[in-house]
Amino acid sequence: MKTRFLALLLCLAPSLLVGAEKPDSAAAPLLRWASQITSNAPFSFYDRNNRLTGFEYEIICGIARHMGREPKLVQNSWDGLIPGLGRGLYDCVICGIEITADKGQEVLFSNPYYTTFEQLVVAKGTPPVESLNELSGRKIGTIDQTAALKMLQSTPNVIVKTYNDEVHAYDDVVNGRNYGVLLDFPIAKYYAAPNPKLEFTGPPFGKITYGIAVSRSRPELVQQINVALKEMIDSGEMRDILSRWGLWTPVMASAYNQSSEPSLPDTEYKAFAAQFDAQSGIVARFQRILNYWPILLQGSILTLEISILGMVIAIVLGFLLALMRVYGPFPLRQISTIYIEVIRGTPLLIQLFIIFYGLPNIGIKLQPFIAGLLGLGLNYAAYEAENYRAGLLAIPKGQMEAARALGMTHHQGLRHVIIPQAFRLVLPPVTNDFISLLKDSSLVSAVTLIDLTGAYNRISTQTFDYFGTGITVAALYLLIGLPFVRLAGMMESRLTTDKRTPEQKPSFWLGLGA
């Protein structure tokens, strides 16, 4: 039993100590780099063997080596990559960030490490498109905060649909929801070219360059990165990396003033493209998903952990807010009311962003786990407060009067008479709120945490199996929630005052006919 308990502590420790670094004077200094590794081929992603790879991953490892540093990945969502720099979560970002004037006002960029263009992808058999103006009245997908989005927005009458990842954008073309997708050539080559239901069309649109983003307060780091980049380019290391990933193009050869012929076979691209050809039955697909059990276990532990602790915060704080609103003096009633209305009237995701990315502006920097925990707990406390308030007000006033007649003080009456009865009444809605909080915990991915939903995104984009992975993750959510529903049912049965069995209770339909 002790061995199992110790094993559980070891599993929980990484998430409880997120962001903590162990000092080691003998170790090389870290180069903390950020990327979105979900559905992010060929940039930085986990392959089917759960191995971190990608051409940007190899580039940043090469840069760190030339700088005498040890690279360390810090996972973040696409929308949070640039804000994370200002928060000091990492040293740099390398994730296909396009060098633009507006981004240049927020961050410093290294010299370009890749130059490419936008590629339009349509369904197989679609008539060729030679100009973006021909897309008038068409639904075109792309990713938010990209050069492709700006191109589409500046094209008259194009109906633009933005996505958080490229996989779903291309799926909507296959399913007939969109006419096409406009995204960077590397993305199109990896997620569209191997799919027999899609095809490239049109000429190269525009010209974009990728740079490594660094906080504006660290110009010396940009200079160090530029020196390392130059060494990699001059030695031919950069050309080798891009060749193996099938990304050495005439555009890149011209940018580096090197030969247009790849220096190595495109082995990495062919290995990735072969996944589209793999056919398997239901059993094989399920076994393939189970190969990712460490990710699913880690995501399940984090989901369970943050849900239970978040609900504890919600119950305790919600109970105090309810007492303040029902029995407190005027100032406390007002504070409680304002808190409840503000929290319930604003989205949980926005609250998480404020806690994680906004509070550092006033000097409060929280670890991702703590920020996610507080976000869930503080949000659901407002809903719990209303449950408890309803339970307290449902107890007849005569109960308190009877308690006072027996010689109890007001506080004793609350503690021994009112609150126990109210607790029995609010138990069912509290249980429902825990299940809701369990599902809403998926939003903590916005603060760099990988829960079960994050595990789903990662596994599904590696296996290209959204249905099987979705069923597996949904089953895990159900398995996590069912024991707590059962426990609440047992508690409700013990606390109920009506001990009759269902057969002994009067029929609902009989009551209607009476």
Q: Which CATH architecture has domain 293-495?
A: Orthogonal Bundle (1.10)
- What pLDDT shows up at residue 482? 83
The two three-digit tokens of residue 56, written as one number: 């940007």
Mean pLDDT for 199-222 is: 95
Rg (CA), the chain: 28
Same CATH topology for 29-112+211-235 and 114-210? yes
Q: How far is the CA of 21 from the CAs of 14, 24, 29, 218, in angstroms?
A: 11, 9, 11, 21
- What pLDDT shows up at residue 503? 59
**Residue 494 or residue 316, greater confidence:** 316
Question: What's 29-80 look like in SS3?
Answer: CEEEEEECCCCCCCCCEECCCCCEECHHHHHHHHHHHHHCCEEEEEECCHHH
For the beta sheet containing 30-35, the strands, ordered from the edge strand earlier in sequence to the opposite edge, are 70-75, 30-35, 92-93, 213-215, 107-109
pLDDT one-digit tens code per residue, 182-192: 999 999 999 89
Mean pLDDT for 257-269 is: 93
Helix axes 419-440, 293-327, angle to 10 degrees: 140
Instruction: Please tell me the CATH code under which domain 29-112+211-235 is placed.
Output: 3.40.190.10
Contact 75/295 with Cβ under 8 angstroms? no
Neighbours of 104 (CB within 10 A): 13
For residue 281, pLDDT over 80 is answered with no
Contact 142/148 with Cβ under 8 angstroms? yes
Q: Which neighbouring-strand residues pair with 121?
A: 181, 200
Rounded to the nearest 5°, which phi and psi values hold at 17? -115, 30
Q: Which CATH architecture has domain 114-210?
A: 3-Layer(aba) Sandwich (3.40)
Mean pLDDT for 123-132 is: 94
For residue 86, pLDDT over 50 is answered with yes
DSSP secondary structure code for residue 495 in this structure: H
Of 248, 275, 276, residue with least CA distance to 264: 248
- What pLDDT shows up at residue 24? 44
For residue 87, pLDDT over 70 is answered with yes
Contact 251/208 with Cβ under 8 angstroms? no
d(CA 391, CA 358): 35
For residue 499, pLDDT over 60 is answered with no
For residue 498, pLDDT over 80 is answered with no
The two three-digit tokens of residue 483, written as one number: 């024991």
d(CA 285, CA 468): 7
d(CA 218, CA 226): 13
Count of positions (residues) in the chain: 514
Mean pLDDT for 21-46 is: 77
Mean pLDDT for 366-378 is: 91
Mean pLDDT for 208-213 is: 96
CA 124, chain centre distance (Å): 32
The two three-digit tokens of residue 328, written as one number: 């407190």
Band of residue 501 on the pLDDT scale cut at 50, 70, 90: low
Q: Which neighbouring-strand residues pair with 198?
A: 123
Amino acid symbol at 45: F
For residue 203, pLDDT over 90 is answered with yes
Average pLDDT of every residue of the chain? 84
pLDDT one-digit tens code per residue, 435-476: 889 888 888 877 777 788 877 877 776 666 777 788 888 888
- What pLDDT shows up at residue 10? 37
Sign of CA pseudo-dihedral 271, 272, 277, 283: positive
pLDDT one-digit tens code per residue, 61-73: 999 999 999 999 9
Mean pLDDT for 117-132 is: 95
**Residue 20 or residue 129, greater confidence:** 129
Concatenate the DSSP letters of all residues of 387-430 into one string.
HHHHHHHHS-HHHHHHHHHTT--HHHHIIIIIHHHHHHHHHHHH
- What pLDDT shows up at residue 237? 96
Report the relative pairing of strands 92-93 and 30-35 from DSSP bridges: parallel
- What pLDDT shows up at residue 460? 75
**In the chain, what are the domain boundaries?**
29-112+211-235, 114-210, 293-495
d(CA 260, CA 252): 8
Mean pLDDT for 357-384 is: 89
- What pLDDT shows up at residue 212? 97
| Tokens 């009759």, located at residue | 500
For residue 513, pLDDT over 70 is answered with no
Report the run of H or E that residue 484 belongs to, with start and end.
helix 466-495
**Rounded percentage of the chain residues whose pLDDT exceeds 90:** 49
- What pLDDT shows up at residue 22? 42
Look up the pTM and report it. 0.69
- What pLDDT shows up at residue 277? 59
